[in-house]
Amino acid sequence: MEMLIKVLIGVVGFAGSLCAVFFAWVGLSIVDMKTELAVTHEKVANVEEMVKPMWEKFISEKTVANFTVTNVATDK
The range of the structural domain enclosing residue 46 comes to: 25-61
Distance CA 8, CA 21 (A): 20
pLDDT tens for 45-56 read: 888 888 888 888
Number of domains in the chain: 1
Flag whether 70 is in a domain: no
Flag whether 19 is in a domain: no
pLDDT above 90 for 33:
yes
pLDDT above 80 for 62:
no
Type of residue at 38 = A
| C-alpha pair distances (Å), 67 with each of 37, 43, 54 | 41, 36, 22
Flag whether 40 is in a domain: yes
Flag whether 57 is in a domain: yes
Flag whether 54 is in a domain: yes
The pTM score is 0.51
3-state secondary structure 43-55: HHHHHHHHHHHHH
Flag whether 52 is in a domain: yes
Flag whether 72 is in a domain: no
